[in-house]
Amino acid sequence: MSLSVRDAELVELMDDPACDPRRLHATLRRFDTVNRLFSGWGATYRRVLRPALLGLDRPARVLDLGSGGGDLVTRLARLSRRDGLDVTWVGADPDPRSLDVARARAAPGIEFRVTDAAALRRAGETFDVVISNHVLHHLSRDELAAFASDSLALSRGRVIHSDIRRSRAAYGLYAVAVTPFAPGTFLRTDGLRSIRRSYLPRELGDALGPRWRVEAASPFRVLAVGNGDA
């Protein structure tokens, strides 16, 4: 199997509306562990998100697009509280199956909604920062363009999209490291498919266009940062 070319035709098992609901629930729950191990959001928070929030010098409102089971929102909310920041968090995901898991993680200052970027834009919503994690590789080229445009329109400040960086090293490391957490979930199969669907930095930069700064956040991560239009 070659990872030199992005495999955009792969479909992840959990994206099937008819997938096993018990395995889906377990997958959404265990994303908390997987994201802590692999997503790099601790560094992204310190280097990009926290400075953007500190620069506001006022209470902030942050949107997480494609928030899934809500683990990233709750983690970032804890980090921001530890830093003395006043932030309201909104997790948005169009898949209602994720809502039960996400709402179990709800806390003061955190709200979860079944919606997407396009609907929020049509409703005239705006936020101080918009983020996403592991969304971009799911999208077709046209969907990616629309998602990028919507996310810029929703933000008064930074837009931060974090995703997997395709590589043999990422594929091999993930295949081994996720195994203890994978039984009863889609984590191993879908994670490996996600890596095969994911972008190299230059590929993502070409797809998003000049309004975005795309960089390799680590050997296994790619980060796209833009400035909002709202």
pLDDT digits (tens, 9 = 90+) for 13-28: 999 999 999 999 999 9
Residue 94 has pLDDT above 90, yes or no: yes
Task: Specify the CATH number of the domain 39-170+200-227.
Answer: 3.40.50.150
Residue 71 has pLDDT above 70, yes or no: yes
At 116, list the tokens.
Answer: 């997407």
Rounded mean pLDDT of 161-165? Answer: 96
**Alpha-carbon span 67 to 73, nearest angstrom:** 7
The whole-number pLDDT of residue 1 equals 66
Residue 100 has pLDDT above 90, yes or no: no
- For the chain, give the mean pLDDT: 95
Q: At residue 215, what are phi and psi to the nearest 5 degrees?
A: -140, 160
At 127, list the tokens.
Answer: 């936020």
pLDDT-derived band at 77 (thresholds 50, 70, 90) equals: very high
**Alpha-carbon span 157 to 62, nearest angstrom:** 10
pTM: predicted TM-score of the whole model, two decimal places? 0.95
Write down the residue that tokens 């990616």 correspond to. Answer: 144
